[in-house]
Structure 1
């Protein structure tokens, strides 16, 4: 048995969903009442529950998704319903807890296919998580070394930290410390600290400078990633329908492989960086606030670089998941490889070096990387 709930007041959309699903839909005007009702229902039945959230605006959509997601409802899937899907908001909606973003005008059979697929995807993800369920545990020697090194470094570098903070504040408006969500060991998410080296609207301008990404494949095929793909009239392949594209399974897997190749983002001569930012990046001074992350236990002195969410979510396949079974580090193996040679490492080389470190790190390896890091501070290219 399937349970369907709707948050909103558009009667036309409610009637359309009711006809498509051929079932009665319980309608509410806010998430709280919906959560209370589902909690009662879940005590009696563990069948899949689908919550359709009528899209209003980005702020309210994310607020509703986040509040329901935090309630930890079991066997529940959140579907954001909209007539005009804004591609720029898709990632934020998914991160807030949406299982899927659905066009209200999609055919009934496609909606049924989507609803049937969601529990299977969740089951598959759970199986993969259990397969890698052994959590990485930081060795005691490494934690002791991290505490001693980071404490001494903060004490010795305190004058430099203060001067850097003053220079950042004098040059441009915005916070001195930049915080971003990063994924570390065991795929744990934490607040990653850096001295702000960019103008305050840098995140919003990321797409504007996408063509400068050194890890972006410069092919015509890449340009079709965000376009709507049209299929031939006659096709024997399985057709997959999503909120912003129609494609075959073969095409989808091909696009996925290309995304994995380009999971890292790096710009050469990034125009979003301030003058002070160029200086502190050149000498890696912008990384020093991560000594606080190390004291807190979020990171280690040496490890694999913690990744932004949008990069990490592309590396959760069996091929790359092992890189998260290691410490998240201030410096690491790929940072010192070819660092003096214009930082010329491909995205694939970086991933393989992360996996290599995860498999083979030791006290001797860490000391070697730290020594090589110190000699690589002064360089002509940002890495």
Structure 2
């Protein structure tokens, strides 16, 4: 509902901007212009109205509404408006859409910020006031072992607990299901939360059935599954309910947008960088005998092999020389991954391509084919994956590999520990969002332009 209200406020903001444009121009001493320009730029509304709430959703604007501060709401709105400005700018440039009034866009963005911030503050104030009134809180029964109730409530979000009126506790160890029937009836319970712990599933099933017969909503905590990273959710296979433990990013519209963004972005980047492809292809053919492209089997998502493209920067028999190079020069990277500064297998023009990261451009073909993403853990050769010493290292294979990542955009060759590399990849996986991808792409641009860490 809040997203629909915000979409309406975005629409109203641009109409308000169109309405006050001429009075504002007169105020600053400029000639008024014909009204109705907004009708010529309706494509802005088609993008801004539906997508602004969606962008704010993945920035967390609609979470923890009761305890949100003014600063966090303002920060989320500013970031959301910057993303929308980037989207509108890209559409205007690449789709060659009609010219738009910069004054309307500026005023519209300003009014969006004001109206959405005002709406957010009003909702937060209302929820805080509503939370004080006990009669408006949901009547909740906690079903758990007597020793586990306090610990379970301590683990819950305080904002969620504040919204509950806990009308009773049901001891799963000592009380019978008949007692549960009586408590549900006498306390007019609206929801039962079961924290089973080590209690048998049969007792839990009986409690769920008792709630079902009285039409009371039941929530079963998945605390009996001791997981460190995986997030429990529920889904169905056919009509069979299933508990899902997922340690990768949740399926969402963000992942769908990421997939589209990858392919569109790769196509646009290939067009923009095509002169550099020609430069690299000609230079390699002149500088070193052999093909201009280098192909290697790399480990993709879940370790599935795929054929990765690169511009060749080493001598043709580089892979056959690897064992001898390791013996003569050692390895500057701790772990199964091989890294060596001033690798003698790299010819001079290849070193230039590496310094400018041009050798990575052909991987955009892999992104178009769906084997890779623009952002993700770097794909490793199959023999390096087979040399993993810890099973948890394979979790970096649980998402699609990428051209750039936190390691590429930041540390690159300053990192010499494979453990640290994996730690950065797992941090990316555990905290993934579309906004994080955008930030890493923006960080990669100066890293490539200035050759930061590239060797």
**What is the TM-score when the length of structure 1 is the normalising length?**
0.51
Match of 2:441 among 370, 378, 382: 370
Q: Conserved in 1, the CA contact under 8 Å of 2:410 and 2:443?
A: no
2:322 is equivalent to residue 206 of structure 1: yes
2:271 is equivalent to residue 271 of structure 1: no
User: For the residues of structure 2 that align with 1:150 and 1:184, how far apart are their CA atoms?
Assistant: 18
2:310 is equivalent to residue 194 of structure 1: yes
2:426 is equivalent to residue 355 of structure 1: yes
Listed as ranges, the matches of 1:8-23 within 5 Å are none
Q: Conserved in 2, the CA contact under 8 Å of 1:185 and 1:328?
A: yes
Q: Conserved in 2, the CA contact under 8 Å of 1:135 and 1:186?
A: no
Q: Could you list the runs of 5+ residues in structure 1 that have no partner in the other structure?
A: 1-130, 217-260
Listed as ranges, the matches of 1:93-104 within 5 Å are none
User: For the residues of structure 1 that align with 2:354 and 2:245, how far apart are their CA atoms?
Assistant: 35
Helix, strand or coil: the match of 1:376?
helix
Other-structure match for 1:382: 454
Other-structure match for 1:16: none
Other-structure match for 1:150: 266
Other-structure match for 2:414: 343
User: For the residues of structure 1 that align with 2:347 and 2:335, how far apart are their CA atoms?
Assistant: 26
User: For the residues of structure 2 that align with 1:159 and 1:338, how far apart are their CA atoms?
Assistant: 28
State the 1:292 CA deviation: 0.2
Other-structure match for 1:324: 397
Q: Conserved in 2, the CA contact under 8 Å of 1:215 and 1:264?
A: no
Other-structure match for 2:284: 168
State the 1:315 CA deviation: 2.9
The RMSD of aligned alpha carbons is: 2.4
Q: 1:313 to 1:133 in 2, by over 3 A?
A: farther
Greater relative CO (CA pairs within 8 A, separation 6+) = 1
Structure showing greater radius of gyration is: 2
Aligned length: 207
Deviations 1:267-296 (A, max 9, x none): 110000011100000010000000000000
**What is the TM-score when the length of structure 2 is the normalising length?**
0.43
Q: Conserved in 2, the CA contact under 8 Å of 1:215 and 1:262?
A: no
User: For the residues of structure 1 that align with 2:263 and 2:322, how far apart are their CA atoms?
Assistant: 35
Deviations 1:49-106 (A, max 9, x none): xxxxxxxxxxxxxxxxxxxxxxxxxxxxxxxxxxxxxxxxxxxxxxxxxxxxxxxxxx
User: For the residues of structure 1 that align with 2:432 and 2:389, how far apart are their CA atoms?
Assistant: 21
Helix, strand or coil: the match of 1:372?
helix
Helix, strand or coil: the match of 1:307?
coil
User: For the residues of structure 2 that align with 1:289 and 1:373, how far apart are their CA atoms?
Assistant: 17
Match of 2:294 among 167, 178, 181: 178
Q: 1:204 to 1:297 in 2, by over 3 A?
A: same
Q: 1:132 to 1:188 in 2, by over 3 A?
A: farther
Deviations 1:96-142 (A, max 9, x none): xxxxxxxxxxxxxxxxxxxxxxxxxxxxxxxxxxx999998792111
2:257 is equivalent to residue 141 of structure 1: yes
State the 1:316 CA deviation: 7.4
Q: Conserved in 2, the CA contact under 8 Å of 1:215 and 1:347?
A: no
State the 1:345 CA deviation: 3.8
